[in-house]
C-alpha cells in the first residue's frame, strides 16, 4: 500500500507521530517544517483580532434606529389625531418605510452573520432577557410620561411620550447592541 503522507505507519496505528513530527508530540515541526513560536503567536493574535472585528461590526447602523424612532412618533401622532384617514395613512407609511429601511439592513446582517459558536452557551437566553427588559423599560417610560403629561393637561401627551420613548429607543438600542458585542468579545476571548 503506497502511503505518501506516512499516515499508515505500522509502528504508529493512530498516526500520531506523523502528525506531530518525527520525534512525537513534543517536536515543533509541522507538515511543512519547523513552526516558529513567534509566528504561531502572531497567527493567534491575528485570529483574535479578526474574531473581535466580526463580533464588533455594525449590524444595525445608527440611522436605522433614528428612522424607526421617527416612524414611531409619526405613527403615534396619526393615531392621537383620531382621524381615520390619518390613522390608516400613518399605518401605511409606517409599514412601507419600515420595510424600505429594514430589508437592506437585514440582508446585510444575514450575509455577514457570525457563526453561532462565537456566542457560546446561554447567550441567546441572555439576549432575549435583555430585549424583553429593554422593551418593558421603553413601555414604562412611555406610559409614565404620557400619564404625567395628561395630569399636567399638556396637549398631545401621547405623541410627546412617544417621542421621549423613541429617543430612548434609538439611544438605548444602540447601547444594548454595543453591550451585547462587548459580552461576545469578552466571552470569545476567554475561550480563544
Q: In the 3-class helix/strand/coil scheme, how is 57-114 assigned residue by residue?
A: CCCCCHHHHHHHHHHHHHHHHHHHHCCHHHHHHHHHHHHHHHHHHHHHHHHHHHHCCC
Which pLDDT band, with edges at 50, 70 and 90, does 45 fall under? confident
Which pLDDT band, with edges at 50, 70 and 90, does 1 fall under? very low
User: Does 35 fall in a domain?
Assistant: no
Q: What is the pLDDT of residue 62?
A: 87
Phi-psi region of 30 (alpha: psi -120 to 50; beta: other; left: phi over 0): beta
Whether residue 72 is predicted with pLDDT greater than 80 in this model: the reply is yes
User: Does 49 fall in a domain?
Assistant: no
Q: From the CB of residue 164, how many other CB atoms can be counted at a distance below 10 Å? A: 18
Q: Which domain does 99 fall in, by range? A: 55-191
User: Does 92 fall in a domain?
Assistant: yes
Q: What is the pLDDT of residue 128?
A: 85
Structural domain tally of the chain?
Answer: 1
Whether residue 152 is predicted with pLDDT greater than 70 in this model: the reply is yes
User: Does 6 fall in a domain?
Assistant: no
User: Does 41 fall in a domain?
Assistant: no
Q: What is the pLDDT of residue 73?
A: 96
Q: Please tell me whether the overall predicted TM-score, pTM, comes out greater than 0.85 for this model.
A: no
pLDDT digits (tens, 9 = 90+) for 85-116: 999 999 999 999 999 998 888 887 776 666 66
User: Does 177 fall in a domain?
Assistant: yes
Q: Of 26, 28, 44, 48, give the one whose Cα is nearest residue 36.
A: 28
User: Does 175 fall in a domain?
Assistant: yes
CA distance 38 to 76: 60
User: Does 18 fall in a domain?
Assistant: no
Nine cell digits for residue 56: 464588533
Amino acid at each position: 500500500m503506497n502511503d505518501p503522507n506516512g499516515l499508515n505507519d505500522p509502528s504508529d496505528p493512530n498516526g500520531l507521530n506523523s502528525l506531530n513530527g518525527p520525534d512525537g508530540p513534543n517536536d515543533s515541526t509541522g507538515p511543512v517544517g519547523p513552526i516558529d513560536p513567534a509566528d504561531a503567536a502572531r497567527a493567534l493574535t491575528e485570529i483574535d483580532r479578526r474574531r473581535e472585528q466580526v463580533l464588533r461590526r455594525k449590524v444595525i447602523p445608527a440611522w436605522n434606529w433614528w428612522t424607526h424612532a421617527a416612524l414611531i412618533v409619526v405613527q403615534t401622532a396619526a393615531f392621537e389625531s383620531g382621524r381615520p384617514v390619518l390613522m390608516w395613512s400613518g399605518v401605511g407609511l409606517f409599514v412601507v418605510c419600515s420595510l424600505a429601511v429594514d430589508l437592506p439592513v437585514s440582508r446585510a446582517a444575514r450575509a455577514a452573520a457570525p457563526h453561532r459558536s462565537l456566542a457560546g452557551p446561554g447567550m441567546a437566553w441572555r439576549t432575549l432577557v435583555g430585549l424583553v427588559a429593554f422593551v418593558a423599560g421603553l413601555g414604562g417610560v412611555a406610559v409614565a410620561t404620557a400619564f404625567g403629561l395628561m395630569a399636567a393637561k399638556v396637549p398631545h401627551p401621547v405623541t410627546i411620550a412617544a417621542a421621549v420613548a423613541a429617543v430612548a429607543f434609538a439611544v438605548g438600542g444602540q447601547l444594548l447592541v454595543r453591550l451585547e458585542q462587548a459580552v461576545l468579545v469578552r466571552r470569545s476571548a476567554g475561550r480563544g
